[in-house]
A and B are shown apart, each in its own frame.
Chain A
Amino acid sequence: MLKLERVDACYGSFKALDAIDMTIEAGELVVLLGANGAGKTTLFNTVSGLHRPSAGRINVAGRDVTGAKPSALVASGVVQCPEGRKLFPDMSVMKNLWLGGYVHRGDKRAMQKTLDDILAMFPILAEKKNEAAGSLSGGQQQMVAIGRALMGRPKLLLLDEPSLGLAPLIVKQVFETVAEINAAGTTVLLAEQNAYAALKIASRAYVIENGRLTIEGDRESMLGNEAVRKAYIGA
C-alpha cells in the first residue's frame, strides 16, 4: 500500500528525516512510535505531499507519488488526519465533514452515504452538526477531524497523534474507533506517544528517533522489547 525508499526530508539545513525505509501492506494497522520532534509529523506531511522529500521515493499502491501535490494524493486515497486537527473553526461541523469529501464532490449520493456512516459512528456529531467546529470540546473536535478524514474515503489513513490532549476515557474511544476503521478495510498508519494503547490495536510498529527508523517489529516483539518498554511504555 505504502512504500518509502530512503526518504530524506529537510528544513533548511536540518535533516528531519534520514533515509526512511518503510513498507505498509494493504489492510495493516501500523503504529509509528516516537517522542516529540522525532520526525513523526514530518514523515506524515511528506507522505501527504505537504512537504517535499529531498531524496528517496514514495510509492502508494504501486504508483510513484514522490513530489505529488496534496490534492492529488487525497484523490488517490491517501488522507491525513493531522496533529492539532486543523479544522475549519468557524464552519459548522457538517460543513467540515462535507468538505472532507471534497475530492468526491462529483458523487453526492456516495458522499451522503459516507456521511451517514460517520454520523452513526459518532452520534454526538449529528447532535452538534450545526455548531461551529471550533466551539466543540477537544474530544469532539478530534471526532470531527477523524470524520472529515473518513469523508475522503481513504485507502490509507494517516492518523497523527489522535489522542493528544484528550481525557483517558475519550482516548480509549478514539482507539476503538481507529480499530473499527481498520477492521472495515482501511489501511492505517498511526503516530502515537501513547504506545501501549496504540500497540494493543496494531499489527506492527516502527520506532522513529531523530529522523531515523530505529526499531521495527510486530506487536508482540514490540511489547516485549526492552528498549521500547523503557522509552515509550514506561514499565
Chain B
Amino acid sequence: MEALLQQLLNGLTLGSIYGLVALGLTLVYGILHVPNFAHGALYMVGAYVAYYVAGELGASYWLAMIAAAVIVAGLAVACERLVFHPLRNAPPIHDKIAAIGLLLFFEAVVQMYWGADFRRLEAPSNTIFHFAGLTLPAQRMLIIVAAFSLMGGLHLYLKKTLAGSTIIAMAQNREGAFLVGINANRVAMMTFAISGALAAVASTLFAPINLVYPAMGHLVLLKAFVIIILGGMGSIPGAIVGGLIIGFAEALGGFYISGDYKDVIAFALLVAILSIKPTGLFSQGVR
C-alpha cells in the first residue's frame, strides 16, 4: 500500500512536468496549428539558462527560473516572428520542417557552448519530507505545487482576462476574432511566449532531479506529443489530464513491471487509448 502511494506521488511529479510541457505544445497547436517540434528544444534551453544563471553566475534558483522563463519566452516569440509567421500561408509541411530545423539549431548552439556533458542544477532545498511512511523530497513537492499553481494561473488568465480571452477567441472562430479587432500577430506572439515560459519553468523544476544535457528535450517532447494526441489536439484539460495519465502510468509501470520499460509504457498506452477513442479524450480544441 505504501509502495503504491509512493509511486502515485512520483507519478504526480512526473505528470505535473509533462502536463506543463504539453500545455504549451497544445496551446500553440490549437491556436496556430503549428506542431512545434522545437518545443523540446525550448525546454532544454530553459534548463541551460537556469543552469547558467544559478550554476555559473551563482544567482539563486528562483532568479534562475525567472530568467529561464523570460529568455525562453523571448526565444519562442522570436521563433514565431522569424520562422513560423513568414510560413503562415505555406503548406503545413513547411512548419514541421522548420520546427525540426529549429530543434537541431538550438541543440547545436547549446552543445557548442556547453558540450554534450551532463550537468547538474542544484535544488533550492535538499530537505526530504517524511509522512505516513512516504518520502517526498522538497523538489518534488515544489514541482507539484508550482505546476498546479501555473496551470491554475493560466486557466484564470485565459478565462478571466480580456487579453487571455483573445487567445481562446482566436481558437474558437478565427474570422470572428479578426472582426472584433483582435490582432492575429499579437495573439500568436502571446501564445508562443506562454508556451516557451511554461517549458522553461518545467525544465528548471525538473532539472535538479533529471540532469541537464543537450538531448534532454527529446523524450519529453515525444511524450508531450503523446499526451496532446491522447488528450485531444488543442485541448487544455486534455493536456493536463493526459500528462497525469502518462506520469502515473510510467511511475506505476516502472515499479510494478520493470523500470526498463517505463518509457515504452507511455507509447503502449497511446496505442491502447487511440484504438478505443481515436479522437483523443477531450477532442474539441482549445476551449
Contacts and interface: CB of A to CB of B under 8 A. Distances in A.
Q: Considering residues A88, A105, A152, which has the most beta carbons from chain B within 10 angstroms of its beta carbon?
A: A88
A165 interface: no
Contacts of A151: 180
A102 B172 contact: no
B179 A69 contact: no
B178 A99 contact: no
Contacts of B169: 88, 91, 99
Contacts of A90: 172, 287
B165 interface: yes
B183 interface: yes
Interface stretch (A25-33, A74-82, A212-220): A74-82
B176 A87 contact: yes
B182 interface: yes
A85 B179 CA distance: 10
A70 B166 contact: no
B168 interface: yes
A70 B172 contact: no
Nearest to A104: B181
B173 interface: yes
Nearest to B178: A70
Given A87-B173, A88-B172, A90-B172, A95 B165 contact: yes
A211 interface: no
Given A86-B173, A90-B172, A80 B166 contact: no
B179 A89 contact: no
B112 interface: no
Interface string B270-281: 000000000000
B122 interface: no
A48 interface: yes
A89 B172 contact: yes
A231 interface: no
A36 B182 CA distance: 29
Given A82-B176, A86-B175, A87-B173, A70 B181 contact: yes
A103 B172 contact: no
Interface in A41-78: 48-50, 69-71, 73-75
B162 interface: yes
Contacts of A85: 176
Interface in A146-187: 148-149, 151-152
Contacts of B162: 98-99, 102, 105
Interface string B132-170: 000000000000000000000000000000100110110
A69 B180 contact: no
A100 B165 CA distance: 11
Contacts of B180: 74, 99-100, 102-103, 148, 151-152
B121 to A, nearest CB: 40
Contact of A89 (B165, B173, B177, B178): B173
Contacts of A99: 162, 165-166, 169, 177, 180, 182
A139 to B, nearest CB: 18
Interface in A87-124: 87-91, 95, 98-100, 102-103, 105
B179 A80 contact: yes
B176 A86 contact: yes
Contacts of A79: 179, 181
Nearest to B183: A71
A151 B181 CA distance: 11
A91 B165 contact: yes
Contacts of A73: 181
B181 A91 contact: no
B179 A88 contact: no
Interface in B13-71: none
Nearest to B159: A95
Given A90-B287, A98-B162, A99-B169, A50 B182 contact: no
Given A91-B169, A95-B165, A102 B182 contact: yes
B165 A70 contact: no
Given A87-B173, A90-B287, A48 B165 contact: no
A105 B182 CA distance: 11
Contacts of A98: 162, 165
Contact of A74 (B166, B173, B175, B179): B179
Contacts of B175: 50, 82, 86
A121 B166 CA distance: 26
Interface of A: 48-50, 69-71, 73-75, 79-80, 82, 85-91, 95, 98-100, 102-103, 105, 148-149, 151-152
Given A71-B182, A86-B173, 11 more contacts: A49-B178, A50-B175, A70-B179, A71-B183, A79-B179, A80-B179, A87-B173, A88-B177, A91-B169, A149-B179, A152-B181
